[in-house]
Amino acid sequence: MNDSPHRANRNTFWAHVFVEELCRGGVRAVCISPGSRSAPLTLAFAARADVEAFTIVDERGAAFFALGLAKASGRPVALVCTSGTAAANYLPAVLEAHLSRVPLVVLTADRPPLHRDVGAGQTVDQLKLYGTATRWFHEVGEPVMREADLRRLRGLAARALFESCRPPAGPVHLNFAFRKPLEPTTVPGDVPPTLAAEPAPAAGARPYSRAISSPPVAGPDVLERLAERIRAAPRGLILCGPMTFAPRLDGAQGDGAASGRAAGEGAPADGNHSEAEWPAALAILARRCGYPILAEPAAGIWCGEHDTSRILANSEAVLRVPEFRSQLTPQLVLRFGGMPTNRHVEVLLDEHPDCPLVLVNESGAWLEPTHHPLELICAEPAGFCSALAERLQHHKPRHGWLAGFWRADRLAGEALDDWFTAPPPLGLGDEYFEGRVFRELAALLPAGSVQFTASSMPVRDLAAFSPLTARATRHLVNRGANGIDGTLSSALGAAAYARRAGVPAVLVTGDLAFFHDANGLLTAKTHDLPLTVVLINNDGGGIFEFLPIAEFGAPYERHFGTPHGIDFAALCAAYGVSLSRPLDWAGFRAQVSDSLRRPGMRVIEVRTERRRNREQHRQTWEAVAARVAPAFPPGWAQR
């Protein structure tokens, strides 16, 4: 064995230089799946004390784990795998990262060109394997032992980080071709003794190259024109869907400005603090406009000590009341983040197709599926809100519009509280209801907690039933492609961040999403990750019960309802993970509270019945309508 393993041969040297530069640029975590061809990269990462390495056998799970960790930490996370279908298994997570704008640095090992397209084993076409889903692709090529090529390699690492983090953030893909030997076997003369493994001494510990992006700002003329539109439109709305914030890699290793959140910190480390300032900045703008905020927990404004008085906690409930919604005639809509999960927000917009919409995002991405008359403003959201609010400081909004929303929201909240606690037939009493899970959790989670919620039915119930709280909880969702695959692994990645930050992590998931990513149970065990999983088990695809296809008898149940009968306790036991089934809400609260205080992973299973769940939702909305509708006679919105 060579005394300096990274100088054993050109492969180990090449990988060492590249990984060294990635780490200087701000990478602090890597997810590695075992493989021979990727050994040089694996060993280069393994040799570093400043990088947390997670070994995850299943490449699909590894990619979603990296996605969850990058989403929670705000830092780009590296992925390493061998050649062939291993790289193809990254695709679902790469697509989600692309659509939800999460920075990943995908490093795939490959056969050298002489083995490609000639029938060599474990060889597929990996060039631009992920198509348009990456921000940047580069074929690194075979290692070349010249100073000029090492400078190029260091520049590639810097560019990979920049491309993954500049708005819109997302995945990048670099493909490395390695010939044997792949292990640190000494090859005499392979690495010239004159080649330096480190950048020039003058650079010190800073990156060899780096790029700095500044957040875009709206010009004074744009802000003044929009302020005038707001003054002329007293009946306006602010919509907030899932928010993502561009990572910053403006600083060198150790200077506290590397990207998003530094390890173990609860606030962004970049110089703009956009994520930390966003809730308060939006609250001030809403107050100056006199507009209600229709948002959801993943918008990043739902929980905390900032002003939440303009946020409608029950917007899904009130917009389902025809007597209320039919009288709304919005004159202007300001929208931030992705399209809200709340279906009846989109219904309201569809009912007013000529209402102008102003969309604000940092990347300038055209994310407007309702096709309203649109003004797209490319600006960092927190700074934009502050600048626009400044121009509205003397504006005196009419409060009749906002007061109506406040009253409807209060009545809906009271109706929900009564319905969830009153004994039958006046309410659900102690009967399990999937939507109530989120109300119960909100009261149990301590400040700083990270809650990951699965797509399909759970994320809809989160948006509909989770209350506002003064305790800051970070809500994370995979709402780029809206898939259920990789849910457990994504949550475990978020849990890895939460462990460093010293806060609890929770996942709320349906049974199909949990089963779909059951391999993640091995990751939880291997890395002893602290995660409380609330498993809502209705034995199939519960969301289909709410669609017209549910009325089509046996074909529906077999091909859409998909009952599985899985014993999740036995499944979890195979991985050494405990599962419990509380009998009532008191037991649920006790078990969740206990789990949040313990290390490791625990699954708390809440069993429900799909058809009954649909009926419970119907009854819930009827209870809200009975309370809200009488309070809004015709003409209230025009007063």
Domains of the chain: 5-182 (3.40.50.970), 220-248+273-406 (3.40.50.1220), 434-607 (3.40.50.970)
In the prediction, which pLDDT does 335 show? 96
Measure the CA–CA gap between 218 and 513, rounded to whole angstroms. Answer: 41
- Per residue in 362-372, pLDDT (tens digit) is 888 888 888 88
Q: In the predicted model, what is the mean pLDDT of residues 300-318?
A: 94
Phi-psi region of 348 (alpha: psi -120 to 50; beta: other; left: phi over 0): alpha
CA proximity to 144, closest of 153, 135, 136: 153
- What is the Cα Rg of the chain in Å? 26
Question: pTM value?
Answer: 0.93
First-to-last CA distance in the chain? 83
Q: Contact 259/26 with Cβ under 8 angstroms? A: yes
pLDDT digits (tens, 9 = 90+) for 498-514: 999 999 999 999 999 99
Does the structure show a pLDDT above 80 at 202? no
- In the sheet with 601-607, reading across from the earlier edge strand, the strands are 474-477, 450-453, 505-510, 531-537, 601-607, 578-580
**Is the pLDDT reported for residue 270 higher than 60?**
no
**For range 397-422, the mean pLDDT:** 93
**Mean pLDDT confidence for 408-431:** 94
434, 453 Cβ separation under 8 angstroms: no
Q: How far apart are CA 546 and CA 615, in angstroms?
A: 10
Give mean pLDDT, residues 588-612.
Answer: 96
pLDDT of residue 198: 67
Residue 261: the pLDDT is 32
Q: Which residues contact 536 (CB under 8 A, 6 or more apart)?
A: 434, 437, 457, 458, 508, 509, 510, 511, 542, 606, 608
Question: Per-residue pLDDT for 255 more than 50?
Answer: no
pLDDT at 92 over 70: yes
Mean pLDDT of 467-473: 93
